[in-house]
Chains A and B, each alone.
Chain A
Amino acid sequence: DTGVSQDPRHKITKRGQNVTFRCDPISEHNRLYWYRQTLGQGPEFLTYFQNEAQLEKSRLLSDRFSAERPKGSFSTLEIQRTEQGDSAMYLCASSSLNSGRYNEQFFGPGTRLTVL
């Protein structure tokens, strides 16, 4: 396992459609994070899992957003009834108490969503 992977890398959809993204963390990491990033901004926290438990959700995460991590391994992020304002890069990161030297988060390559 060489790192965090995300699928798809790019997604173009029409407004009103539903989309689902997948993240596979580094296998021994028990923490998984979803962020949203728009051009010229830092990552905005969306939600966080420790194992299969979703421990925190940002106020940014409207009712149209849902995330799961059913077996404490991969995670999915679903956006229902997409809006043009949802266009962004969606980043996944993972970590654990023993990850790296400083428990730093390791990021996947991101999924770029474009809503037309």
Chain B
Amino acid sequence: GQNIDQPTEMTATEGAIVQINCTYQTSGFNGLFWYQQHAGEAPTFLSYNVLDGLEEKGRFSSFLSRSKGYSYLLLKELQMKDSASYLCAVRDSNYQLIWGAGTKLIIKP
């Protein structure tokens, strides 16, 4: 079967750094996405990885290791507005997105 695992909840302090991990087992791989979702709102695209390595985009970076079926999202200089759920999704061989359950990130002052 297809499976994506990420921690249910994480807590971090404003100004700090946090790493959210995602492991996956899917039928085929055509890229991995990270989306941010604030409570009651739609997911919004954050980052995409299809090759191994680190993609940096301002305060957010995403890493991929295809051989390990592993990705992480790194958030630096945390701000209160970063409190949200972070969803990992893999595009499979049918070009469909398989979603994780999301990691709820709580930022404390």
Binding site for B on A (CB under 8 A): 40-45, 48, 56, 91, 100-102, 104-110, 112
Can you list 16 A-B contacts (CB < 8 A)? A40-B104, A41-B101, A42-B4, A42-B99, A42-B100, A42-B101, A43-B87, A45-B99, A100-B45, A101-B48, A102-B33, A102-B50, A106-B45, A107-B42, A107-B43, A109-B42
A45 engages B42 (CB within 8 Å): no
B44 engages A56 (CB within 8 Å): no
Q: Which residues does chain A contribute within 8 Å of B8, judged by CB atoms? A: 40
Residue B97 interfacial (CB < 8 Å): yes
Min CB distance A40 to B, Å, is 7
Residue B73 interfacial (CB < 8 Å): no
- Interface of B, secondary structure class, is loop
Interface string of B91-105 (1 = CB under 8 A from A): 000101101111010
Q: Which residues does chain B contribute within 8 Å of A45, judged by CB atoms? A: 96-97, 99
Query: Using a Cβ–Cβ cut-off of 8 Å, how many residues does chain B contribute to the interface with A?
Result: 22
Residue of A whose beta carbon sits closest to that of B99: A42
Most buried by B among A105, A106, A108, A112: A105
A41 engages B45 (CB within 8 Å): no
CA distance A44 to B43 in the complex (A): 13
Given contacts A45-B97, A48-B96, A56-B96, A110 and B102 within 8 Å (CB-CB): no
Residue B31 interfacial (CB < 8 Å): yes
Given contacts A107-B43, A109-B42, A102 and B102 within 8 Å (CB-CB): no
Residue B20 interfacial (CB < 8 Å): no
Q: Which residues does chain B contribute within 8 Å of A48, judged by CB atoms? A: 96
Q: Which residues does chain B contribute within 8 Å of A91, judged by CB atoms? A: 42-43
Residue of A whose beta carbon sits closest to that of B88: A42
A41 engages B41 (CB within 8 Å): no
CA distance A91 to B43 in the complex (A): 9
